[in-house]
């Protein structure tokens, strides 16, 4: 009895390469706590930058202004 080794198809190999890349990128990320703190700081900074921006709601005509989180 001879056993044939099945070679994975090119699409399957491509999928594994994509998954390996996602795993590699995920391992490079910082801890979830640090990631949350960095993203929260980015949101606070962006709100400070755009605090002078206002828009008009087209349905009600109400003026909406960005609130500074600082």
Higher pLDDT, 8 or 44: 44
Residue 9 lies in a domain: no
For residue 8, the model assigns a pLDDT of 62
Identify which has the larger pLDDT, 61 or 5: 61
State pLDDT tens for residues 10-63: 778 889 999 999 999 999 999 999 999 999 999 999 999 999 899 999 999 999
56 in a structural domain: yes
State the DSSP H helix or E strand holding residue 48, giving kind and residue range, or none if neither: helix 32-49
Considering Cα of 22, then 26, then 28, then 29, what sign does the dihedral take? positive
Residue-level pLDDT at 4: 60
Structure tokens at 57: 């709601």
Q: Is residue 59 part of a domain?
A: yes
Residue 7: pLDDT over 90: no
For 62, the domain range is 31-70
How far CA 2 is from CA of 7, 8, 37, 50, in Å, comes to 16, 19, 58, 70
pTM of the model: 0.60
């Amino acid at each position: 009895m001879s056993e044939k080794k099945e070679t994975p198809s090119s699409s399957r190999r491509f999928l594994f390469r994509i998954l390996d890349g996602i795993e590699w990128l995920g391992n490079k990320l910082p801890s979830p706590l640090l990631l949350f703190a960095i993203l929260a700081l980015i949101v606070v900074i962006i709100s400070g930058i755009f605090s002078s921006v206002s828009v008009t709601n087209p349905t009600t005509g109400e003026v909406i202004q960005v609130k500074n989180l600082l």
